[in-house]
Amino acid sequence: MNIKKFGSLVLSVIVLSIGTLHADEGMWMLPLIQKLNIKKMSEIGFKLSAKDIYDINNSSLKDAVLHFGAGCTAEIISKDGLVLTNHHCGYSSIQKLSTVDHDYLQNGYWAMNRDQELPAKGLTVTFLDRFEDVTKEVSEAIAGVTDPKARREALKTISDQLSAKAVGTNKYLKGRVASFFGDNQYYLVITKTYNDIRFVGAPPSSIGKFGADTDNWMWPRHTGDFSMFRIYADKENNPADYSKDNVPFKPKKFLTISLKGEQQNDPAMVIGYPGRTNRFMTSYEVKETSEITNAITILVRGVRQNVLLADMVSDPKIRLQYSSKYAGSSNFWKKAIGMNETFEKLKVYDRRAAEEKIFTDWVSADPDRIQKYGKALSEVKTAIDDRAKLQTLLKYYTEALYPIELTSAASRFSPKSEEDSKDRVAARTAPAVTPADFYKDYNAATDKKVAKAMLALFKQKVAPADLPDFFKTIDAEFHGNIDAYVDAMFSNSVFGSEEKLKAALAGDKKELANDPALKAAKNISEAMTKYNKELEQSRSMYAEGQKLFIAGILEMKAGQAIYPDANSTMRMTYGKVLSYSPKDGVTYDYVTTLDGVMQKEDPKNWEFVVPARLKELYIAKDFGQYALKDGRMPVAFLTNNDITGGNSGSPVMNRKGELIGTAFDGNWESMSSDIIFEPSLQRCINVDIRYTLFIMDKFGGAGYLLNEMRISK
């Protein structure tokens, strides 16, 4: 296929598909709303124009939606830059601000004036300025470049050139080229990032994480999963580093909040930054995901989390240090469990195989198609088969060895030669963290327990020839005793504490070369680099096969609904408020209330403790303007919007584009939704905005924040 023509083919395929489009499925690109979505949206009750949602010349809803931190979404809800997102999205920042004496995670926090808003070090929010289709330019720049490294370099060069041209002299804007449809289409994404972000408030974990691991990914849900921050800017409203002279950001657009609530079948729209979906995944990849990626994640994280949780429960300081680490690990651990379960229940492998049979028959029916797409699936299958062993090894390395924090500290904080830096790039890419940041949330005794458990499991699961070299030291010097090796490494390494590290860096740095943790870190890095290099050929073959397969699918399904996989760019999904029936005889209502919180209360289980103040408000029925007509206090509700990881914190809006809730989770019965969308089962779980404001106002005593919001009753 002539790649220069592919962009117009993609658009024509989707435009033709609109008549058969399911309103609830699809993560749609905002520049195409007028052509693809607005007619159907109007039919189901939305009162918005395409330009109300996305307009590069005037303020629109996209200007009120932010990429929050490293992988969430947030929305602006006031004229003074007040930001609403999920509690679990703000979790890491809140944890960093917390101490044992001022534990904002455990106890919650509300600033009672601007001076009490706390700088959230390292947190950023990013606005979308605009999208530009650059498929033609990128395709021409990389045409004929087959070597993977050279292709990456060519792509970076054209991306830098296009970004520089689009941004011009505006030092606050940045551009990047994003790939769509398996490298068949490209868009330039122009953004602006603010980095003076301050923590305004959040409920205690007993509300913000109510139900914790047990309720995660489950419905009915009763979690007040929200937190609030504020953007600060310089006096010209531009991004600026933290300064006391900065002022609250004045947004182009902020969302009106609706207290009218939602009813079954009401229109509902979500705008956000979904991370990754794989809706073009083949049966070969389904098997790989289930048997390698998910299986290893479930096994290794389960072991590590048991170690962490035991120490967290026993010591408040350790609980605070490891809360964010545990939560991040546990979320994807449980998702892997649910995904494998739904793979089996929904027969995802069989369905993908059946679709591939249809594709193969279609290709075989025409000589031109055979020429264009005949090798697509065979290349994908060969690449998956060839990389199985290496993928398994790399997954064990990343899941079992990366979480050992002592070797991570050695890799991060040792003086690096130029050669060391080059070697470590492929194996371990960690965000910039200072020693003070690291050791604040580090407990050596806990890490030592993790190291012993991880090394024992790693040795059990990985063949002797594929073990990193420090296992030879374990055998030669410690007679194969992993626990003894770990004890010695922790005793003798300077990376066990900030004090030891400072002393070592002040002395003869050459002595660090013999540090046991640094030696282990280098062994891990060397092995990872080696395996990644060995994977390059199969990765290249897979990319080419996938690109051809997706191009063929688009041609084969001309006239049907096709949309690109999520890739952390802003998308819109629209549908309805909707209940569901997961199995025979069971129907779940679309709404939960505070009654359910009280029904779940268990003072002996930390996951289901209810704060005394919340019980007081419940008993008194002191719900103010936030109650339902029947007097109950709403907590969460369901929509059938198409979301995934990264949509956490996304605004859920009604037919007028008013804020009615915040998306925070998906449901257990559709855990394979990143691969296959199930209209009857897939649901988006949302915090009702009325519960958010009730907790902020009545529970937290921060009702003064209502004065800067625009509220529709």
Measured in whole angstroms, the distance separating CA 228 from the mean position of its chain's CA atoms is 18
pLDDT in tens, 269-281: 999 999 999 999 9
Nearest to 247, CA basis, from 28, 79, 389: 79
Beta-sheet strands, E only, within 222-316: 227-233, 247-248, 257-258, 267-272
What span, in angstroms and rounded, lies between the C-alpha atoms of 306 and 302? Answer: 6
What span, in angstroms and rounded, lies between the C-alpha atoms of 688 and 634? Answer: 7
pLDDT in tens, 559-616: 776 789 999 999 999 999 999 999 999 999 999 999 999 999 999 999 999 999 999 9
Active site residue 22: no
Would you call 286 exposed, middle or buried from its count of C-beta atoms within 10 A (0-12, 13-18, 19+)? buried
Q: Which one is catalytic: 80, 196, 225, 311?
A: 225
Active site residue 52: no
What span, in angstroms and rounded, lies between the C-alpha atoms of 475 and 680? Answer: 55
**Residue type at 326?**
Y
Please list the residues that pair with 268 across neighbouring strands.
Answer: 575
Helix pair angle (444-461, 482-492), 10° resolution: 140
Average pLDDT score over the chain = 93
Residue located via tokens 């449980």: 334
Are the CB atoms for 129 and 188 separated by under 8 Å?
no
**Residue type at 10?**
V
What span, in angstroms and rounded, lies between the C-alpha atoms of 297 and 515? Answer: 30
Are the CB atoms for 26 and 563 separated by under 8 Å?
yes
What span, in angstroms and rounded, lies between the C-alpha atoms of 397 and 427? Answer: 10
Could you tell me which residues come within 8 angstroms of residue 217 by beta carbon, excluding any fewer than 6 positions away? Answer: 334, 335, 338, 665, 666, 667, 668, 671
pLDDT in tens, 115-136: 999 999 999 999 999 999 999 9
Query: CA 161, 166, 172 angle in degrees (round to 5)?
Result: 105
**Residue type at 368?**
D
Nearest to 415, CA basis, from 520, 527, 508: 508
Residue located via tokens 């693809």: 36
Q: Mean pLDDT throughout 286-305?
A: 98
**Six-digit token pair at 477?**
């010097």
Please list the residues that pair with 179 across neighbouring strands.
Answer: 186
**Six-digit token pair at 711?**
């509220």
Would you call 466 exposed, middle or buried from its count of C-beta atoms within 10 A (0-12, 13-18, 19+)? middle
**What does the DSSP assignment read for 163-220?**
HHHHHTT-TTEEEEEEEETTTTEEEEEEEEEE-EEEEEEE--HHHHTTTHHHHTT-SS
Q: Mean pLDDT throughout 245-254?
A: 98
The reported pLDDT for the residue numbered 179 is 96
Long-range own/partner contacts, residues 496-504 (CB < 8 A, 24 or more apart): 496/406, 496/444, 497/439, 497/444, 498/435, 498/436, 498/438, 498/439, 501/409, 501/413, 501/435, 502/435
What span, in angstroms and rounded, lies between the C-alpha atoms of 501 and 698? Answer: 47
What span, in angstroms and rounded, lies between the C-alpha atoms of 231 and 254? Answer: 13
pLDDT at 63 over 70: yes
Nearest to 122, CA basis, from 437, 545, 466, 342: 437
Nearest to 304, CA basis, from 328, 335, 338: 328
Please list the residues that pair with 586 across neighbouring strands.
Answer: 583
Could you tell me which residues come within 8 angstroms of residue 163 by beta carbon, excluding any fewer than 6 positions away? Answer: 174, 175, 176, 177, 188, 190
Within 10 angstroms of residue 544's Cβ, the number of other Cβ atoms is: 18
Residue located via tokens 């913000």: 208
pLDDT in tens, 503-549: 999 888 777 889 999 999 999 999 999 999 999 999 999 999 999 99
pLDDT in tens, 5-45: 444 444 444 433 333 345 568 999 999 999 889 999 999 99
Please report which confidence band the pLDDT of residue 443 belongs to, taking 50, 70 and 90 as the band edges. very high
Q: Is 248 helix (H, G, I), strand (E, B) or coil?
A: strand
Q: Which one is catalytic: 78, 159, 648, 670?
A: 648
Q: Mean pLDDT throughout 409-418?
A: 80
Q: Which one is catalytic: 17, 52, 87, 88?
A: 88
Residue located via tokens 């024992």: 456
What span, in angstroms and rounded, lies between the C-alpha atoms of 521 and 404? Answer: 10
What span, in angstroms and rounded, lies between the C-alpha atoms of 655 and 257? Answer: 12
**Six-digit token pair at 357?**
């049979």
pLDDT at 713 over 90: no
Nearest to 678, CA basis, from 578, 605, 606: 578
Nearest to 447, CA basis, from 329, 320, 308: 308
The reported pLDDT for the residue numbered 678 is 92
The reported pLDDT for the residue numbered 7 is 44
pLDDT at 238 over 70: yes
Q: What is the pTM of this model?
A: 0.92
Could you tell me which residues come within 8 angstroms of residue 420 by beta carbon, excluding any fewer than 6 positions away? Answer: 414, 522
Are the CB atoms for 138 and 154 separated by under 8 Å?
no
Please list the residues that pair with 207 across neighbouring strands.
Answer: none
Active site residue 225: yes
Q: Mean pLDDT throughout 626-652?
A: 97
Nearest to 319, CA basis, from 18, 511, 136, 99: 99
Are the CB atoms for 276 and 571 separated by under 8 Å?
no
What span, in angstroms and rounded, lies between the C-alpha atoms of 393 and 395? Answer: 5
Q: Is 178 helix (H, G, I), strand (E, B) or coil?
A: strand
pLDDT at 499 over 70: yes
DSSP at 233: E
The reported pLDDT for the residue numbered 1 is 40
The reported pLDDT for the residue numbered 76 is 98
Are the CB atoms for 659 and 710 separated by under 8 Å?
no
What span, in angstroms and rounded, lies between the C-alpha atoms of 233 and 344? Answer: 50
What span, in angstroms and rounded, lies between the C-alpha atoms of 518 and 484? Answer: 17
Q: Establish whether the linkage from the previous residue to 431 is cis, with ω within 30° of 0.
A: no
What span, in angstroms and rounded, lies between the C-alpha atoms of 195 and 173? Answer: 13
Which uninterrupted H or E stretch holds 686?
A: strand 684-688
**To the nearest whole percent, how much of the chain has pLDDT over 70?**
94
pLDDT in tens, 304-342: 999 999 999 999 999 999 999 999 999 999 999 999 999
The reported pLDDT for the residue numbered 11 is 42
Could you tell me which residues come within 8 angstroms of residue 532 by beta carbon, excluding any fewer than 6 positions away? Answer: 394, 426, 427
**Residue type at 646?**
G
Are the CB atoms for 267 and 44 separated by under 8 Å?
yes
- Kindly report the length of the chain: 713
pLDDT in tens, 671-705: 999 999 999 999 999 999 999 999 999 999 999 99
